[in-house]
Amino acid sequence: MDISTPFEENQDQLSPNRNIAPLTAALDKEKRLVVGGCRLSKLAEDYGTPLYVIDELTVRASCREYRDSLIKYYPGDSLPLYASKANSSLLLSSLVASEGMGIDVVSEGELITALKGGIPNHKIVFHGNNKSKDELLLAYKNDVKIVLDNQFDIDQLKEIVEPDVKKARLILRFTPGIECHTHEYIKTGHIDSKFGFDPDALNDIFIQLKDIEWGELVGLHAHIGSQIFEVEPHRDLAEVMVKALQKGRELGHSLEILNVGGGLGIRYTSSDDPPSIAHWVEVISNAVVEACNKRSLKLPFLMCEPGRSIVGTSGLTLYRIGSRKEIPGLKTYVAIDGGMSDNPRPITYQSSYTAVLVDKPLAKTNEIVTIAGKHCESGDVLLNDFPLPICSSGDVLAVFSTGAYNSSMSSNYNRIPKPAAVIVLEKTSEVIQRRELPEDLLRNDILPDRFMENVR
């Protein structure tokens, strides 16, 4: 394994998602790893471990590549939206807002975070396949665009909206018959998905929503997968969506917006080879323009919803190594002070990562170890049969590309507190999420009075 790849000369400054480490990853004079000008072992000492670290420059570079590529390649109006399910926080909401991006949310919590983080209301899109009435009401009152995922959404909105006050602005989601998962690409008439209307139902839905008093259908949305390394599926997606756009306009809807979703992959290991952000944007932009020109249609307002490719590469997680167990002739386990509660992706998706010891990242990898988490679960393994230098208790391990779907999917399994998160920039670090304390885990527990006699 080439461990120099994450932080040396191979960094592609124009395409953050094609790197393994953040753009600012470098070595100091003592050959120790630094990010954002901050020595990682010092961050572990100052803030404790496990610790999520976000590199601000990398997030901003990703946002700008989406924004600037859309301006360059798409001749109509456009807006990239940050898919906040990847990592939702006040800081990230504020950061992407400062770069001119919008955001998509899927819950009341994500919506409140976006609003309080400074995202303009008109740049927020609210998703979800089972939105509650309270969530819909919050989105409606805040003039957020609401994605119609099913008939249930339509029926609830009819009861909520006050047409004399204002109409709801609606985007219709449908399954496009295209499914893409990294190296697998399938086109079918129907995709088994819990999201969106069946494509055969579109005509009926367009008719149902025509001339409604409580809302206005302003756009279409479709999404074809996650961690995608291919661009061809998005050419097909554009054709399918523009065809639906034409049908909707013929049936009387303005349909100003075309939201093509997200899903662009990032590099977790040296074998991963995702297209650059700019290339992905170029392909989808050209495909939408071509499909519209073919039908003599006015170009729609183009939206996309990147999440992982905005924050994934910007993040890394620091752990401190603890116990060691050697099984002669079989395996050596090295345990860290975190695991599946702060990164559930390996046990859930069998995800692979790249990692180094932060104070000796260039040392010879002279043993194969399995990095195990501290949870009471045999499957709590972060890295299986992984090459590392000889390591000792107290050494700090950095696992790269953890900015997306780590913090947002974290849990308190075994009643382990969630890690702190810091953002780094120009040799400074700031806490953006406090570390939970063990006593914090009791804040929602209630002990009935009849059990109080057992309390110590």
Q: What is the pLDDT of residue 193?
A: 85
Q: What is the pLDDT of residue 356?
A: 98
In this predicted structure, the answer to whether residue 276 has a pLDDT above a threshold of 70 is yes
Q: Which residue has the higher pLDDT, 180 or 342?
A: 342
Q: Which of 150, 191, 200 is nearest to 170 (CA)?
A: 150
Q: What is the pLDDT of residue 128?
A: 96
φ/ψ region of 20 (left if φ > 0, alpha if ψ in -120 to 50, else beta) reads alpha
**Span 415-428, mean pLDDT?**
98
**Span 239-256, mean pLDDT?**
97
**DSSP bridge pairs for 318:** 51, 398
pLDDT tens-place string over residues 381-401:
999 999 999 999 999 999 999
**Span 119-148, mean pLDDT?**
97
What phi, psi does 218 have (nearest 5°)?
Answer: -110, -10
Q: What is the pLDDT of residue 188?
A: 58
- End-to-end C-alpha distance for the chain, whole angstroms: 53
Are the CB atoms for 318 and 50 separated by under 8 Å? yes
pLDDT tens-place string over residues 292-328:
999 999 999 999 999 999 999 999 999 999 999 999 9
57-311 under CATH 1.10.3720.10, yes or no: no
Q: What is the pLDDT of residue 187?
A: 62
376 catalytic per annotation: yes
Domain map (residue ranges) of the chain = 16-55+314-437, 57-311
pLDDT tens-place string over residues 78-133:
999 999 999 999 999 999 999 999 999 999 999 999 999 999 999 999 999 999 99
In this predicted structure, the answer to whether residue 66 has a pLDDT above a threshold of 60 is yes
Q: What is the pLDDT of residue 177?
A: 87
**Span 350-364, mean pLDDT?**
96
In this predicted structure, the answer to whether residue 36 has a pLDDT above a threshold of 60 is yes
In this predicted structure, the answer to whether residue 2 has a pLDDT above a threshold of 50 is no
Residues 6+ apart with CB under 8 A from 325: 332, 333, 335
Are the CB atoms for 95 and 64 separated by under 8 Å? no
> Per the residue annotation, which of 38, 180, 292, 376 is the catalytic one?
376
Beta strand 315-327 with 331-336 is antiparallel
Residue 137 tokens, joined: 């009401």
Residues 6+ apart with CB under 8 A from 142: 111, 115, 121, 124
Q: Which CATH superfamily is domain 16-55+314-437 in?
A: Lyase, Ornithine Decarboxylase; Chain A, domain 1 (2.40.37.10)
- CA gap 107, 229 in Å, rounded: 28
Q: Which amino acid is at 50?
A: P
In this predicted structure, the answer to whether residue 185 has a pLDDT above a threshold of 80 is no
CA dihedral 236, 244, 289, 299 (to 10 degrees): -160
Q: What is the pLDDT of residue 3?
A: 39
- CA gap 74, 183 in Å, rounded: 27
Look up residue 449 and give its DSSP letter. Answer: G
Q: Determine the length of the chain.
A: 456
User: Is there a shared CATH topology between the 16-55+314-437 domain and the 57-311 domain?
Assistant: no
Position 10 confidence tier, pLDDT thresholds 50, 70, 90 = very low
- CA gap 91, 320 in Å, rounded: 26
- DSSP for 373-386 reads -SSS-TT-EEEEEE
- CA gap 308, 406 in Å, rounded: 11
- CA gap 303, 288 in Å, rounded: 11
Q: Which amino acid is at 415?
A: R
- CA gap 63, 80 in Å, rounded: 8
Position 455 confidence tier, pLDDT thresholds 50, 70, 90 = confident
- What's the farthest any 2 CA atoms get from each other in the chain? 78
Mean pLDDT of the chain, nearest integer: 94
Element of type H or E holding 245? helix 232-250
Position 213 confidence tier, pLDDT thresholds 50, 70, 90 = very high
